[in-house]
């Protein structure tokens, strides 16, 4: 089973990935964790792509958590048996989740399991830009789904959809 999780920041991709891993014993690649271990250089982009390809080749089944449309989405979509899950929850809920996890991390000083340990989040202009990405994400991803001709993605809009998906993959 090969699963790609697509969704805006704060949509619940990483949480769903961990639930799939626990349920089906499938390894996860968190793209944010991988990317944020780099220095963001051109060499880092090459390394990032190679690491994703290596993960997909080394594992018969996998879950890839993250968008990164400009890196390996075409490779991820090239598998005949890939399941594309698009998480579409309301904007206000995504923003709330982002703010909640940021504040929680700041208070607890704990690293997120889906993020590089060296990643530092600051409440600055870059952070506001990140929130804006989440706010405007829906229009952009709809266009990307059309651009890549993603056929029959599984759309998760609420808890019931999520539970139905988890039940489907557990059978």
pLDDT tens for each residue of 85-116: 999 999 999 999 988 878 887 777 677 666 65
Position 114 scores a pLDDT of: 67
* Distance from chain centroid for Cα 62: 13
CA–CA distance, 170 with 160 (Å, rounded to integer): 15
Rounded Cα–Cα distance for residues 126 and 58 (Å): 35
Alpha-carbon span 81 to 1, nearest angstrom: 7
Give me the pLDDT at residue 78, please: 86
pLDDT tens string 24-83 = 999 999 998 899 888 989 999 999 999 999 999 999 999 999 888 777 888 898 888 899
Closest CA to 99 of 73, 71, 120, 128: 128
**CATH superfamily membership of 2-170:** P-loop containing nucleotide triphosphate hydrolases (3.40.50.300)
Query: What token pair was written down for 64?
Result: 């890839």
Alpha-carbon distance 149 to 137, whole Å? 18
């Amino acid at each position: 089973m090969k699963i790609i999780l697509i969704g805006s920041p704060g949509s619940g991709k990483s949480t769903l990935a961990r639930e799939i891993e626990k349920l089906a014993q499938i390894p996860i690649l968190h793209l944010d964790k991988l990317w944020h271990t780099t220095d963001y250089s051109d060499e880092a982009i090459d390394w990032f792509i190679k690491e994703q390809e290596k993960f997909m080749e080394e594992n018969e089944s996998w879950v890839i958590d993250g968008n990164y449309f400009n890196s390996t989405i075409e490779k991820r979509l090239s598998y005949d048996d890939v399941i594309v899950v698009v998480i579409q929850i309301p904007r206000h809920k995504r923003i709330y989740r982002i703010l909640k996890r940021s504040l929680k991390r700041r208070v607890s000083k704990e690293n997120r399991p889906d993020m590089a340990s060296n990643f530092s989040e600051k409440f600055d202009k870059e952070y506001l830009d990140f929130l804006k990405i989440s706010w405007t994400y829906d229009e952009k991803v709809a266009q990307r789904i059309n651009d890549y001709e993603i056929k029959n993605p599984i759309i998760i809009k609420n808890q019931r959809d999520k539970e139905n998906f988890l039940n489907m993959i557990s059978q």
